[in-house]
Amino acid sequence: MTIEIKTATLEPIRNTFEHTRRRFGDKPASRYQEASYDIAPENNFHYRPMWQPDKLLNDTSRTAVVMEDWYAFRDPRQYYYGTYVQARAKLQEVTENNYAFFDKRGLGDRLSEEVKAKVVRCLIPLRHMELGANMNNVLCSAYGTSTVLTQAFLYNGMDRLGIAQYLSRIGLLLDGNSAEVLTKAKDHWMTDPAWQGLRRYTENTLVVEDWYEVFIAQDVVLDTLVYDLMYRQFDQAITEEGGSDLAMLIEFMQEWHKDTSRWVDATLKSTVAESDHNKELIGRWVAEWREKAVADLAPLAEIAVGDDAVNACTEALNQRLAKAGL
Amino acid sequence: MSNKKLNMKDKYRLLTRDLEWEFSYRDRKEIFPQEDFEGIKITDWSKWEDPFRLTMDSYWKYQAEKEKKLYAIFDAFSQNNGQQNVTDARYVNAIKLFLTGVSPLEYQAYSGFAHVGRQFGGVGARVACQMQSLDELRHVQTQIHAMSHYNKHFDGFQDFAHMHDRVWYLSVPKSFFDDARSAGPFEFMVAIGFSFEYVLTNLLFVPFMSGAAYNGDMATVTFGFSAQSDEARHMTLGLEIIKFLLEQHEDNVPIVQRWINKWLWRGYRVLTLVAMMMDYMLPNKVMSWQESFEVYFEEAASSLFKDLARYGIEMPPYAADAIAEKEHLSHQAWSIFYNYGHAAAFHTWMPTAQEMDWLSEKYPNTFDKYYRPRFEKWREMEEAGERYYNPTLPMLCQTCQIPMGFTDMENPTMTSYRQSVYDGERYNFCSNGCKDIFDHEPEKYVQSWMPVHQIFQGNCGGPEMEDVLGDYYRINLGVDNLDFKGSPDEARWNGWHNLQSAEDKLKKAS
Ligand SMILES: [Fe+2]
Ligand SMILES: [Fe+2]
Ligand SMILES: [Zn+2]
């Protein structure tokens, strides 16, 4: 007996949606492309926003940056919602194991009082800065143009909330959930002279209206400095002081920063390469915010790592800017 | 060190709410500049009760699991050409309507919730809105992916985003969401978070998703199930915002009441599209529009408004108008689309004899009396080779933008007209609700991008209707539009199933 297996041979009548065909040609498009390009409303808005009557609902003029095509960007990670949450879920699984291990082995008790105090003073208050970063990235998502950018901003914004929550959990791990550490860390954020520069900088970013400038002030300038300072230099310093177990609690932030930097760099590079207008504008924003950030971060850098720390992170920032053509 | 156990609420407070601080280098008002202009009074954001206490790590974990399962089904669906298993190719037109009319609203929700997720002065409310923004992004993207395979085998899906910005009937859902997004942040939440997500969602998503389940559409039904737990969170957020606003200050009560009146009517008008989908576009019917309206609106809303009575909130006055229409709405809507079937990006058709009998049974007071005669006439014309298409352009309601085809419920053969004059111009409305909404904010609604006016003003491509439909809307004429009978969709479907088209059968018989 022969079995005839019927296979369906149905010829598709088209390879992809029109919006992806127009942009990428008549061939099957990736899921990232179908769900990211040209799907935002662009035309025929019915009413002007009551909260900003001089603009349209979606309006490219919410930044001074000019792009011929706002979909000229591409997220090198190709994150759409599904790939984004799956990437983060993997990272969080590792993190969860790390935190559980740290807790179960009582590694917090092995940290010296000096190291603990330093973590409380220098690291945990960053959770508030991360909340500022959350608000800033959500602002860019809400008012930015093109889904390739706005979705990445929202992912970034939610990541920052996640990081603020991990930092809070480090605090709770160190004091057995009494929340004393978080209270102390908040006091540092509010009144410790070492933190006032960073808090002022954060509050200043929260009133900026141009969303691309917010991206520069937060994701490009401040984050490059702070992540180099805390998650590289401070990590090393603490390890030298016998606090190497801290490393497993900040692995998420290190991995995350590598991941997000790919997108930040690609975005910056495409914008700068677009025109001299963009290049000059961004150059000006970078210079202004860098000057403030370096000055504001210096006192924290000094107590967290030492004299030279702020120069080292400025060096990291400059290298990054050079890669983008700035 | 012995660890104190933290309960969910304390944990959430420490991990999320406590991240906030008193600003001192900048004034709060500079950071949250949109909190005051609507007249809403918030005295204490700390009174906000978090509707769900989800931290990001759990969010990533749960959502990733859901996505993994969902995409496994999508992959299997396209590998097995699951589109062949739907009840009949007419069904697919319901999801064309969904992708062009509803998925772009998910996109708008994504933008709108990001906007309020930045603007609210309380971290608890902000974070809840941000998570909804992210969920709504999920919805639009998974819907695109669910339909991606249908797009490869049926016409009318291919240019949904372009069409949503332009096509006349898509202006109904689009203007609805533009209206909400252009309002202040608190009104947006009453409009979308409460009225749409909490009160009306069961009338929108449930019919589409059950329609998919009843008609063999695995891709859409799987998406629907997967989105259910997101929607549950959205509903609790919608309810919390209402309670919060009403408890914050008594001056908020009349403002919120007016918004509820407005947005339930505005949302209900958008549901016209769902009503006709349920009664006319599903080959396997789930329930009639009237039945669904009775369960999900009349019963659900009356118990909801009983709960809200303690705050001084009453059932909107237009609820009675909606109830009066329930035996007419879907028939009138389908008539409009059948009339303008040449101008739609999906197919229309006259119900079969059995389907008409089903309608008679479900609508004993109205179908045979008002609609069957008209439909039978149209069917006769069609059989005589003169399928009826209305060549004129309809007048639209200035608020909801639906063609003025609804009738007076006291006298169901007369079209219902309301008018207002503003700044020397006359404006038309389909109903009291739409007129009142306009009269309260005429400066807003005179701005509406009215598709028919725009065509007359020459803003939609060349002078001929073909230029508008083909070049401006990008409908593939003779392919995406017109009657289902004789469409390429029908021909392909029949080819897959070795079926004869109705026309061929007739030819052979004669
Ligand atoms: Fe949704
Ligand atoms: Fe929702
Ligand atoms: Zn109306």
CATH of the domain at A102: 1.10.620.20
Instruction: Tell me whether residue A32 is in a domain.
Output: no
ipTM exceeding 0.90? yes
Dist. CA B200 → ligand 1 center (Å): 12
Cα–Cα distance between B251 and B242 in angstroms, integer? 14
**pLDDT attached to residue A18:** 98
Contact A159, A131 (CB under 8 A): no
Q: What is the pLDDT of residue A4?
A: 56
Query: Sorting pLDDT into bands at 50, 70 and 90, what band is B499?
Result: confident
The pLDDT score that the predictor gives to residue B259 is 98
pLDDT greater than 90 at residue B410? no
CA of B115 to the centre of ligand 1 (A): 16
Instruction: Identify the pLDDT of residue A5.
Output: 52
| Interchain proximity B165–A42, CB inside 8 Å | yes
Would you give the DSSP letter of residue A301? H
Among A79, A138, A159, A218, the strongest candidate for a mutation testing the B interface, having the largest count of B CBs within 10 A, is A138
Which domain range does residue A262 map to? 77-323
Q: How many angstroms separate the CA atoms of B481 and B179, rounded?
A: 29
- pLDDT of A118 reads 97
Residue B130 pairs with which residues in a beta bridge? none
A316: in domain? yes
Q: In angstroms, what separates the C-alpha of A150 from chain B's closest C-alpha?
A: 9
CB atoms A103 and B166 under 8 Å: no
- Residue A122 burial by CB count (10 A; 0-12/13-18/19+): exposed, middle or buried? buried
The whole-chain average pLDDT of chain B stands at 95
Would residue A9 count as lying in a domain? no
Instruction: Write the DSSP string, A7-44.
Output: ------S-SS-HHHHHHH-SSPPPHHHHHHSS-S--S-
Report the percent of chain B where pLDDT is more than 70: 97
Closest residue on chain A to B113 (Cα): A142
Q: What is the pTM of this model?
A: 0.97
How many angstroms is it from B429 CA to the middle of ligand 3?
5
Q: Per residue in B374-399, is it b (16+ CB within 10 Å) or e — as a string?
A: ebeebbeebeeeebeeeeebbbbbbb
Residue A199 lies in a domain: yes
CA distance B179 to chain A (A): 7
Check if CATH label 1.10.620.20 holds for domain B45-509: yes
Residue A221 lies in a domain: yes
Nearest residue on chain B to A177, alpha-carbon basis: B4
**Is A24 within a domain?**
no
Structure tokens at B377: 């006439």
Residue with tokens 């809403």: B40
Question: What average pLDDT does this structure show over A258-271?
Answer: 98
Distance between first and last Cα of chain B: 92
Q: A37 and A69 in contact (C-beta within 8 Å)?
A: no
What the block records as the tokens of B109 is: 């929700």
Q: Is residue A128 a contact partner of residue A189, using CB atoms and an 8 Å limit?
A: yes
Q: How far is CA A59 from the centre of its chain?
A: 24
Backbone φ, ψ for residue B40 (5° rounding)? -75, 135
Task: State how far the Cα of B141 lies from the Cα of A218, in Å rounded to an integer.
Answer: 28
Dihedral over Cα of A79, A314, A316, A89: its sign: negative
The domain total for chain A is 1
Q: State pLDDT tens for residues A7-48.
A: 456 899 999 999 999 999 999 999 999 999 999 999 999 999
Q: Is A53 a member of any domain? A: no
Per-residue confidence (pLDDT) for residue A12, from 0 to 100: 96
Structure tokens at B76: 């299997």
Decide if A17 is inside a domain: no
Helix (H, G, I), strand (E, B) or coil at A166: helix
Residue A50, token pair as written in the block: 């009551």
Q: Tell me the residue length of chain A.
A: 326
Mean pLDDT of all residues in B373-400: 96
